[in-house]
Structure 1
């Protein structure tokens, strides 16, 4: 890993929360010190940081975080300013400038906003600024659901074309069982096939955090399909990130990049955009897609949902399992008229189409191998 050019680090609430409430100032200082060390090694760094809710809880003197959405969002609004101020001061003391970037799900769901976010982050890095990214908790309903910042960190890593995603956690890595419950659990130091380990992930984490190991494995799925490795590291050993940059492998779990990686627009199609509906296809069409073919009307057996042309749809096999997603050339109303028909019949029914493909392979990403 000594050829790393750009890494993304995700730190969760459990790594930042002080046992007596609020943020742990020493944790912030350690993170800032590590980022400074990374920059001295000539590697660019993007930080995805939770902690707004924990910071707000401490600032307001609450014993626990609110359970209702309005309460969580209000606490996050208070805490986000506290969080970024502490990061800014800690980094400034080390000669670095940071920028707060708050993203909502819609910022990644719409193609134009996705590109805008990408361009902004790239410009910040050209200015040698440290982007500190968090979900926009104050207005986003979906963000405060289970473990979203793990997913966000993987999406951000794709946005900035990162070489490595490091997710800090409160355990040494991925274990064969929950180490807090089973003393016989063994650390899994390398994962080449995620499908072999998904079943061992547990539930939610600490009282301040929202993510469990399952969300980290889902983040690994995204990151590795983007063509980068992901490393799970205990937050107490955050300084060892520099070992990764220098080609050493500290204690933790490394997820190897997937053999078949997705690039460019297909990253957004696979994990950024919000799909408007579903297309159901027969087994023959499934086999064709897996061979790299486009989706034709003849293989479509049904649809679910309402959409217009060029919107994102899921493509499901006969069992309802998503095999691909892509930008559809026909509206749901048009597709209902031509599904199951041969291309000649489709073009005769809807003559203003540019081609015979319902979803062209260039605008489609496979969701299974």
Structure 2
């Protein structure tokens, strides 16, 4: 896919890593360098976003850096390892970080709106829709939405783990055409250390990943490829680029120069908002295993999941929850909304739909997952 396609992106999410926002500065009176927020970098991003805004393009930022900013304000040299310490430092840093973003965007004539999120904001369909509405309204008010994980309240089961995943899920929520992930490295590198300009095979890309990460970041290249997988699976474009390149956001979205990061080619299909949520956003509440016949029917497209093809059921899910559909070897095939609770699916699995009303004692759906609520993901 040529990079010129990026010039057509109108709804854009830009994710900025902590290592780009934190810098070491030596005090004027001398002494050891101290951690500080890189306000020059923030100003450069604000100017580029303002240029895109003037062109009628809508940008949502995902800004890491709350813990780094909190450490800078509190005079801490190292990232806290204790959970309570990290939450408290993030509470201090998030205010400081937003002040820097506010000041930078005020200089280019735009406002900002803070959007703090946890993982459950994307799992719940109503909150997911409210998030979309909030971001859309902020943009209509000439305010740039700036999202971050709500570190002050997030516990393990509510966490994203890193802001790469948050950015990918937010891209689905706002129906983004493109996600630009700004990193401390220039893109996905090959074995010789050169940037891979374009990726169409995500499995091959994953094999290139090293396990290292920056001292302030919570992710690494692996989490960025995971984020790219979510975005391109919905039919949108993802680029991983070095954030220190001059005018990198503007250059990437102008389709310029193959050295401006790694482009991940989107899937041929373009999922609508509902299917993005079902297949690529909400966490499954349970799962079913299907036999070879059902797996072939689903792979062919356009088929509903019938109980006759289900061989096993896992989890404690309710009607309307997202289910993960696997084949006998454990490979993911699809995700979809269940018409039945877990206990009912266990009663119905392997049975024909004509028996459902008698088994349940009430009128019943013919499919466990209707084709209109099923998304192929394998």
TM-score above 0.5: yes
State the match for 1:201 in structure 2. 209
Residues paired across the two proteins, number: 362
Structure 1 residue 322 displacement after superposition: 2.1
Tell me if 1:363 matches 2:368.
no
Q: For 1:253 and 1:207, how far apart are their aligned partners in 2?
A: 23
Tell me if 1:269 matches 2:269.
no
Q: Which runs of 5+ in 2 are unaligned?
A: 1-5, 25-33
Candidates 213, 219, 241, aligned match of 1:211: 219
1:324-366 deviation digits (Å, cap 9, x = unpaired):
1111111111111121111112232125345310011111122
Q: Is the 1:11–1:167 Cα contact (8 Å) retained in structure 2?
A: yes
In structure 2, relative to structure 1, the CA distance for the partners of 1:37 and 1:360 (3 Å cut) is same
Deviates more, 1:121-130 or 1:240-249: 240-249
Where 1:244 maps in the other structure, the secondary structure is helix
Q: Which aligned pairs between 1:59-208 and structure 2 lie closer than 5 A?
A: 59-142=73-156, 148-177=162-191, 184-208=192-216
Tell me if 1:245 matches 2:253.
yes
Q: For 2:340 and 2:363, how far apart are their aligned partners in 1?
A: 8
State the match for 1:300 in structure 2. 310
Candidates 345, 350, 354, aligned match of 1:340: 350
Q: For 1:201 and 1:167, how far apart are their aligned partners in 2?
A: 16
State the match for 1:180 in structure 2. none
In structure 2, relative to structure 1, the CA distance for the partners of 1:48 and 1:268 (3 Å cut) is same
Deviates more, 1:188-197 or 1:145-154: 145-154
State the match for 2:9 in structure 1. 4
Where 2:368 maps in the other structure, the secondary structure is strand
Q: For 1:297 and 1:143, how far apart are their aligned partners in 2?
A: 31
In structure 2, relative to structure 1, the CA distance for the partners of 1:215 and 1:10 (3 Å cut) is same
- What's the TM-score once normalised by structure 2's chain length? 0.91
Q: For 1:225 and 1:218, how far apart are their aligned partners in 2?
A: 11
Q: Is the 2:187–2:242 Cα contact (8 Å) retained in structure 1?
A: yes
Tell me if 1:56 matches 2:53.
no
Q: Which runs of 5+ in 1 are unaligned?
A: 178-183
Structure 1 residue 161 displacement after superposition: 1.7
Structure 1 residue 138 displacement after superposition: 0.9
1:284-338 deviation digits (Å, cap 9, x = unpaired):
1111111121110111111111122222221121122222111111111111112
Where 2:244 maps in the other structure, the secondary structure is helix
Structure 1 residue 143 displacement after superposition: 8.3
- What's the TM-score once normalised by structure 1's chain length? 0.93
Structure 1 residue 207 displacement after superposition: 0.9
Structure 1 residue 146 displacement after superposition: 7.6
State the match for 2:51 in structure 1. 37
State the match for 1:286 in structure 2. 295
Where 2:335 maps in the other structure, the secondary structure is strand
Structure 1 residue 4 displacement after superposition: 2.5
In structure 2, relative to structure 1, the CA distance for the partners of 1:349 and 1:143 (3 Å cut) is closer
Q: Is the 1:266–1:365 Cα contact (8 Å) retained in structure 2?
A: yes
Q: Is the 2:118–2:160 Cα contact (8 Å) retained in structure 1?
A: no
In structure 2, relative to structure 1, the CA distance for the partners of 1:205 and 1:278 (3 Å cut) is same
Q: For 2:138 and 2:246, how far apart are their aligned partners in 1?
A: 24
Q: For 2:357 and 2:210, how far apart are their aligned partners in 1?
A: 50
